[in-house]
């Protein structure tokens, strides 16, 4: 594929997780600075279910917000959290002039069974609207290949539509490698009269083992041929990265041609693979 093709006017955003150590936090600032040069619409920062990363998420959001004039969107999950704790977070974010949130249910650590006062993301969206009105642009999660715990594809679609009806403005998908799954999901939404932007979540491929483990746990399908080829490369990290880059750049190309409105990159707090993909596909 040719490098540095014509720039395209498609917004991009980058996701981080809150670092666990001071060294990780310093490294993230460097990654953030590098990714700022790609002119993103915003950065987002994940939030551990049940409030497990509350302080780290807040600290990371504030640091990024103070470092560059690019908006930051905190993720917020409701499972295992109380309405009072979530209200306090919402008020704090509003005071910091944060205008965008990613609202999720979250996944409780195994063994922890307290769902809390808001068991589903739809309930959280409703709560944010009741508490903060229209202050926040709310993103929710979408699953073109179906959420792994959903009773059926249809039930999951109904749940997604319920989140939109509760007040979500747009959505970011779980990562996927099959563009047709995204196009089918979009067709089903259009038929149901739902037309909010649904932004493909893009996972750069840099490490086969991690990708396979992560995909198995979140229900994202790795096509058989790709899984086999990644596994066959074993420890050959250069070949894994080269194959991953080609596959994901082609996926982005197809999604742009099919009308994807923007792209959200799961950076895993690294800049290199994401930067290469953005430049290769002309998204910078």
Residues marked active site are found at 15
The number of residues that bind ligand FAD (CB under 6 A) is 25
End-to-end CA distance of the chain: 16
Residue 206, token pair as written in the block = 């840099």
Per-residue interface string for the shown chain with ligand FAD, residues 82-121, x marking contact by CB under 6 A: --------------------x-xxxx------------xx
Identify residues 230-249 at the interface with ligand FAD (CB under 6 A).
none
Give the nearer residue to ligand FAD in terms of CB position, either 222 or 240.
222
> Strands of 201-202's sheet, edge to edge?
198-199, 170-173, 137-142, 100-104, 72-77, 42-45, 12-16, 263-266, 201-202
Is residue 200 within 8 Å of 179, Cβ to Cβ?
Answer: no
Residue 140, token pair as written in the block = 């929710």
Query: How many other CB atoms sit within 10 Å of the CB of residue 134?
Result: 10
Per-residue interface string for the shown chain with ligand FAD, residues 151-170, x marking contact by CB under 6 A: ----xx--x---x-------
Based on the shown chain and the rule CB under 6 A, indicate whether residue 204 belongs to the binding site for ligand FAD: no
Give the nearer residue to ligand FAD in terms of CB position, either 69 or 110.
110
Q: What is the signed CA dihedral for 51, 52, 56, 59, rounded to 10 degrees? A: 10
Evaluated on CA atoms 156, 157, 162, 168, the torsion sign reads positive
> In whole angstroms, how close is the CB of 48 to ligand FAD at the nearest point?
6
Give the nearer residue to ligand FAD in terms of CB position, either 32 or 265.
265
- When binding is defined by CB under 6 A, the residue of 32, 56, 75, 100 that contacts ligand FAD is 75
Residues near ligand FAD, by CB under 6 A? 46-49, 75, 77, 102, 104-107, 120-122, 141, 147, 149-150, 155-156, 159, 163, 172, 174, 201
């Amino acid at each position: 594929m040719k490098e540095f093709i014509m720039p395209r006017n498609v917004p991009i955003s980058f996701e981080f997780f809150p670092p666990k150590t001071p060294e990780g936090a310093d490294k993230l600032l460097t990654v953030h600075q590098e990714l700022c040069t790609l002119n993103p619409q915003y950065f987002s920062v994940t939030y551990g279910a049940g409030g497990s990363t509350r302080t780290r998420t807040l600290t990371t959001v504030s640091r990024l917000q103070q470092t560059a004039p690019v908006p930051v969107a905190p993720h917020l999950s409701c499972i295992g959290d109380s309405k009072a704790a979530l209200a306090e977070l919402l008020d704090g974010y509003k005071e910091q002039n944060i205008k965008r949130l990613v609202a999720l249910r979250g996944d409780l650590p195994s063994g922890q069974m307290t769902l809390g006062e808001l068991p589903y993301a739809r309930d959280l969206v409703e709560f944010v609207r009741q508490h903060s009105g229209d202050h926040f642009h709310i993103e929710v999660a979408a699953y073109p290949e179906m959420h792994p715990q959903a009773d059926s594809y249809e039930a999951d679609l109904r749940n997604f539509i319920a989140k939109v009806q509760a007040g979500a403005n747009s959505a970011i998908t779980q990562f996927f490698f099959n563009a047709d799954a995204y196009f089918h999901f979009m067709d089903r939404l259009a038929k149901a009269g739902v037309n909010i932007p649904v932004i493909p979540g893009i996972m750069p491929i840099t490490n086969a083992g991690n990708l396979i483990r992560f995909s198995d746990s979140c229900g994202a399908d790795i096509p058989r041929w790709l899984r086999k080829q990644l596994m066959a490369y074993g420890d050959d990290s250069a070949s894994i990265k080269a194959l991953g880059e080609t596959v994901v750049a082609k996926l982005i190309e197809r999604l742009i041609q099919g009308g994807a409105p923007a792209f959200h990159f799961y950076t895993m707090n690294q800049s290199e693979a994401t930067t290469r993909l953005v430049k290769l596909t002309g998204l910078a």
